[in-house]
């Protein structure tokens, strides 16, 4: 019994001693847009361009180009609908130059049917050591119909209310 417990403790210690492998982005984001299926390639490009132009560069005037008026939002912090999207992001979006790639580190862009999933490197402070940070993966999924984003999901949690 002692040997079994000792082996278990040593095994657990070895697992705990191995640190998480940091999440890293790809070097060539444009390569992620390729697909042998032209429809999937177009859907990837639509989500990619929406991210660069509207979300990162803050060009809310281009939101109509990408989002359907009946756009459904599943992030618990953002209102649903095109108008709700513009109102929410209009509070802090400041137009900047549009660049060829997404500024965040992109891990993957995957398309299947009418869905496009984009995953990104996300960095957070380490709760065990405030002098360190760790990486994890953030996911955004878009449903596309007739060349417009009609629905969005991500891994966001509900934000606490702002102090009055």
Q: Is the pLDDT of residue 56 over 50?
A: yes
Number of domains the chain is built from: 1
pTM, rounded to two decimals: 0.84
Domain that holds residue 76: 22-154
Quickly list H helices, 60-115: 63-66, 82-90
Whether 124 is covered by a domain: the verdict is: yes
113-157: pLDDT as tens digits: 999 999 999 999 999 999 999 999 999 999 999 999 999 999 888
Q: Is the pLDDT of residue 15 over 50?
A: no
Pair 117, 107: CB distance under 8 Å: no
Whether 68 is covered by a domain: the verdict is: yes
Whether 112 is covered by a domain: the verdict is: yes
Cβ atoms within 10 Å of 149's Cβ, excluding its own: 23
Residue 137, classed as helix, strand or coil, is strand
CATH code, 58? 3.10.450.50
């Amino acid at each position: 019994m002692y040997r079994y417990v000792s082996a278990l403790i040593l095994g657990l210690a070895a697992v705990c001693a191995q640190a998480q492998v940091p999440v890293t982005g790809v070097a060539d984001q444009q390569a992620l847009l390729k697909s042998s299926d032209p429809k999937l390639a177009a859907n990837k490009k639509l989500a990619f361009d929406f991210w660069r132009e509207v979300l990162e560069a803050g060009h809310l005037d281009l939101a109509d180009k990408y989002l359907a008026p009946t756009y459904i939002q599943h992030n618990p912090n953002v209102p649903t609908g095109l108008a709700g999207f513009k109102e929410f992001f209009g509070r802090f979006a400041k137009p900047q130059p549009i660049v060829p790639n997404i500024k965040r580190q992109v891990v993957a862009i995957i398309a299947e049917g009418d869905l496009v999933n984009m995953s990104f490197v996300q960095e957070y402070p380490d709760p065990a050591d405030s002098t360190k940070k760790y990486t994890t993966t953030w996911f955004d999924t878009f449903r596309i119909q007739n060349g417009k984003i009609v629905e969005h999901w991500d891994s966001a949690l509900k934000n606490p209310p702002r102090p009055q």
